[in-house]
Amino acid sequence: MRQKRQKRKILRLREGILICSSIVLLIIIMSLNIGSDKPIASNNKVVAAEQSNKTESTTNIVEDEIIDNDNNTIAEHTDNDESQQQNLTVDVSDENENIHQQEDENVDETTVEQEEIDESEQTQPTNSSIATGLEVGNEINKEQIEHEKKVAYLTIDDGPYGSSKDILDILEEYNAKATFFMVEPKMREYPELVREMVRKGHGVGLHSVTHDKHQFYSSRQSLLNELSVSNETLKEITGETTPLIRTPYGSAPYMTDEYKAAVTNNGYIMWDWNVDSKDWKYRDERYVHDTIAQIEKLSEQDHAPVILLHDKTTTVNHLRELLEYLTENHYELLKLDASLQPVQF
């Protein structure tokens, strides 16, 4: 395209030169004819012929130079065009390479995006799975809340005896705590067991000296004396006292309002129970079954079970069965303390 434009320029230049030369030659001839005769005209013809030859020669030279210049220009343009063509080729190649690379990157990105979409579709929960997950989550949360609320208290009366050692071992197996309401003569008989109860983190309470309802409840002063003696003995053995008491056979119907006021005014906290295992009546696994039935009934009422047991061999023989039930049903077995609201008849 550029070569054609250059050729057109050259042709136009040539035409201009020829026109100018013709005009110059015409002016010379006219001036000679006006100022001289025929011989001179004849000479003028020769001169004109020579001048024409010179002009033509000059024109040819000029044309040759223009052509040469044009050729050089064309060559330069050709070289430049070739260089530009090469650069263009390189640029096109580079551009093509960039395009291919970009296409490859786009393909890779598309592939990655598609893989991510596929993976997202695979892991995206459906409405049914969301609903199921919410149901499971609600069940778990409900179960966790129930776990937090489900506490039971084992209370063991009338010891210590030789069976207390077995009870302590079984409780340790289940990481369970209990509260032992002890009679004073037995504390003196088994002081090491009393110390072990305290050392292992169990609760200890007072359960009288005589365990005789006629003597213990004979007067306000009689029950306070038995409680005081028991606490002094506990302090001799363990170095500490306790405010927790359980009166013989429970507070009803023996603990009158006067008696209740007397123990309260002397800093004692009286505990009864809401689950009677009847291990004093059943000397086999029946006491466990009866206890479980009562616990399940209390659970419906959202009450923590305070379970009455007795320190004797027949109770030990089936204690694991009861603890299995309690742990499988997520009860935490804790000891009683002064911060709790006591269960009373």
The encoded tokens of residue 134 equal 């919410």
* Residue (of 176, 272, 189, 268) closest to 231 by Cα position: 268
For β-strands 269-270 and 178-182, DSSP reports them as unpaired
Residues 6+ apart with CB under 8 A from 240: 198, 234
Position 21 confidence tier, pLDDT thresholds 50, 70, 90: confident
* Mean of pLDDT over the chain: 77
Whether residue 84 is predicted with pLDDT greater than 50 in this model: the reply is no
Alpha-carbon distances of 137 from 128, 131, 133, rounded to whole Å:
14, 10, 6
Of 157, 158, 272, 311, the catalytic one is: 157
What average pLDDT does the segment 226-241 reach?
Answer: 98
Of 207, 211, 310, 318, the catalytic one is: 310
Q: Would you call 157 a catalytic residue per the annotation?
A: yes
Helices vs. strands in the chain: H and E counts, helices first: 12, 8
Number of C-alpha atoms within 13 angstroms, CB side, residue 96?
Answer: 6
DSSP reduced 3-state for 253: coil
What pLDDT score does 140 carry? 39
Q: What is the pLDDT of residues 47-66, one digit of tens each?
A: 333 444 443 443 343 344 43
Q: What is the pLDDT of residues 92-121, one digit of tens each?
A: 344 444 434 544 444 444 444 444 434 444
**Distance, CA of 146 to CA of 330 (rounded, Å):** 8
Q: Would you call 310 a catalytic residue per the annotation?
A: yes
